[in-house]
Amino acid sequence: MDKKILAKVDGKEITQEMFDSIMRNLPENHAAQAATEEGQKRLLDEIISGELLYIDAMAKKMDEEENFKAILEEAKKNLLQRFAIEDLILNADVSDEDVLTYYSANSGQFAKNEELTASHILVSTKEESERIAKEIIEGLEFSEAAKKYSTCPSKEVGGNLGTFEKGRMVPEFEKVAFSLPVGVVSEPVETQFGFHLIKVEDRSEPGVAEFEEVKDSIKTQMINQVQYDLYTNKINELKDKYSVELL
């Protein structure tokens, strides 16, 4: 299949394949902008501008200037260092069996405190809070009541506060929340923010996180350690191979 040519700059072709390759390597925020028709036109214009600058620089023999050669040599050195490190750690891996062994031997690291998932409705007076509680008893869904009455920004998600452990909420709120059974709506609770109706949606008891919950993070940590060890050992090996003098 013939290649699609988007432009020619002093005879040099800019192909669709080249354009797509540049698109793939754009930072995420730039890629989103370049995804539009207008954005692609701007990107092609930038590529053309870059080619024009390159042609002009070569015509002026800037590549033969000593300053350019020094910068190029430094860039080459940095790139080779990066490639050497990537080649060294490329195949660093840890088996699932090793991850499980680490988890079993270090279970204390994965202790979990009691956590609650809770929702609330915040209003300014106790009387208003009691009136809303009555509506809930009569059948109004807690989440709908939160959307309708709560003054907290969490009203947009039905009053949901997410999952939290002790120490995250003000003491008056926390004391009631952690004593509530799942699914039960509290009496009005006064805090510095106003009056709350609290409903615990879920509770996880204290204990040790399941292996599957922490497996990926353990594996990442272990691979990082393997890579560090490979790097350190290689540097020590090279120090024995080549002379190093601190002056």
Using a cut of 0.75, tell me whether the model's pTM lies above it: no
d(C-alpha 119, C-alpha 137), whole Å: 16
Q: What is the pLDDT along the chain (247 residues), one digit of tens a residue?
A: 568 999 999 999 999 999 999 999 888 888 888 888 899 999 999 999 999 999 999 999 999 999 999 999 999 999 999 999 999 999 899 999 999 999 999 999 999 899 999 999 999 999 999 999 999 999 999 999 999 999 999 999 999 999 999 999 999 999 999 999 999 999 999 999 999 999 999 999 899 999 999 999 999 999 999 999 999 999 999 999 999 999 8
Nearest to 189 by CA among 198, 178, 180, 199: 198
Q: What is the mean pLDDT of the chain?
A: 95
13, HSE (Cβ side, Cα atoms, 13 Å): 7
Joined together, the tokens standing for residue 89 give 């750690």
d(C-alpha 142, C-alpha 133), whole Å: 9
Joined together, the tokens standing for residue 220 give 């990442």
